[in-house]
């Protein structure tokens, strides 16, 4: 299996200081891959800049100009969560461009799948607004680009970041060509992603939200992917799968309250890979979103890459939290989501 890894030091120029979303996320992850000789097992690809036209498929031109000017003025806070530095605009257009590089490599069969190890993350960014550490919506820009430049009509976006990807949902809420599937802690930032948010107009039914309660972990996530994602994906028959890969649902991550382990993430990736092999010739692009415990993040990215290249030998020194009994209402919850989407 040829797996592409998209990375460039330009992503470190988004200098957020001691902010929880900082350059050490990528520095630590790349060091982990190098120390474990994983980097030699992948095809390292250099990202390109996304053009203004490519960004404009998702974001208003006035907003793009605003982000560029903010960087030129030295950066600063865009909201209470999201900060910029002078290098942030450059890093952000290369982050979006990294996702596009990954799409090109997969669709042109240079690699079977690809992981864009980029920052700033993207799935909260809307047409007009930066939020939740995000400037440009990398995964949404990649989906728009793939539909416009390749002979495909159906894309599945899977988002397993612990926070709901409100920006991605907004972009495709009325679009039947993109099925957006999100599993996330709820109620939690940004407050969207309830079970009854299912799309609008022609996109009705093409948004699937699975809002999980704090404290749920590997078993619940796996059941959601097997019992909800898999049948929905098979019915939709995507020609490309894009993944917003956020690892902040890990039990060691202090920004959330979920209980997923490194091996749990590996199992989710394995399910996605099985679906991609079955439905779209294995074509998958992963783009990094959240994940703020540096050890858990680097281990989880490494495990994801191992699964993509066909290995099942997952190293998880952090282990799992002590198993709890399955919530008595979990089965009813899954049944409710399935009924909502006629599964």
312 neighbors 263 (Cβ within 8 angstroms): no
Neighbouring residues of 336: CB distance < 8 A, sequence distance ≥ 6: 195
205 neighbors 341 (Cβ within 8 angstroms): yes
Measured CA to CA, the distance from residue 231 to residue 225 in angstroms comes to 9
Measured CA to CA, the distance from residue 147 to residue 307 in angstroms comes to 26
Short-list 273, 267, 274, CA closest to 285:
273
What SS3 string covers 77-117?
A: ECCCCCEECCCHHHHHHHHHHHHHHHHHHHHCCCCCEEEEC
The residue from 14, 124, 184, 250 that is catalytic is 124
Catalytic residue at 66?
A: no
For residue 28, give the 3-state DSSP assignment: helix
Q: How far is CA 316 from CA 14, 215, 248, 266, in A?
A: 30, 20, 16, 10
Q: How far is CA 171 from CA 14, 121, 152, 194, 299, in A?
A: 24, 16, 18, 17, 31
Residue with tokens 């098979």: 234
Active site amino acids: 124
């Amino acid at each position: 299996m040829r797996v592409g890894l998209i990375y460039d030091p330009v992503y470190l120029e988004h200098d957020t200081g001691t902010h929880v979303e900082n350059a050490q996320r990528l520095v630590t992850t790349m060091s982990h891959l190098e120390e474990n000789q994983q980097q030699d097992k992948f095809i390292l690809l250099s990202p390109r800049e996304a053009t203004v036209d490519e960004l404009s498929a998702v974001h208003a031109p006035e907003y793009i100009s605003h982000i560029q000017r903010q960087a030129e003025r030295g950066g600063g806070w865009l909201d209470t969560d999201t900060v910029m530095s002078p290098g942030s605009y450059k890093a952000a257009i290369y982050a979006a461009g990294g996702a596009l590089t990954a799409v090109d490599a997969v669709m042109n069969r240079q690699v079977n799948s690809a992981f864009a190890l980029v920052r700033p993350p993207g799935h909260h960014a809307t047409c007009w607004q930066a939020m939740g550490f995000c400037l440009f919506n990398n995964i949404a820009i990649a989906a728009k680009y793939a539909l416009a430049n390749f002979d495909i009509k159906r894309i599945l976006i899977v988002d397993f970041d612990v926070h709901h990807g409100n920006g991605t949902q907004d972009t495709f809420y009325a679009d039947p060509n993109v099925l957006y599937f999100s599993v996330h802690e709820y109620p939690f930032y940004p407050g969207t992603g309830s079970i009854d948010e299912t799309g609008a107009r022609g996109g009705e039914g093409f948004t699937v939200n699975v809002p999980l309660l704090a404290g749920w972990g590997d078993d619940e996530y796996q059941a959601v992917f097997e019992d909800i994602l898999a049948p929905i994906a098979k019915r939709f028959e995507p020609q490309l799968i894009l993944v917003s890969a956020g690892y902040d649902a890990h039990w060691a991550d202090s920004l959330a309250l979920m209980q997923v382990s490194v091996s749990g993430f590996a199992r989710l990736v394995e399910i996605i890979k099985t679906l991609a092999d079955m439905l779209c010739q294995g074509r998958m692009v992963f783009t990094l979103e959240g994940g703020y415990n540096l050890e858990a993040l680097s281990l989880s990215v490494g495990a994801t890459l191992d699964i993509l290249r066909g290995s099942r030998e997952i190293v998880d020194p952090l282990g799992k939290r002590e198993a709890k009994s399955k919530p008595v209402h979990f089965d009813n919850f899954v049944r409710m989501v399935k009924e909502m989407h006629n599964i």
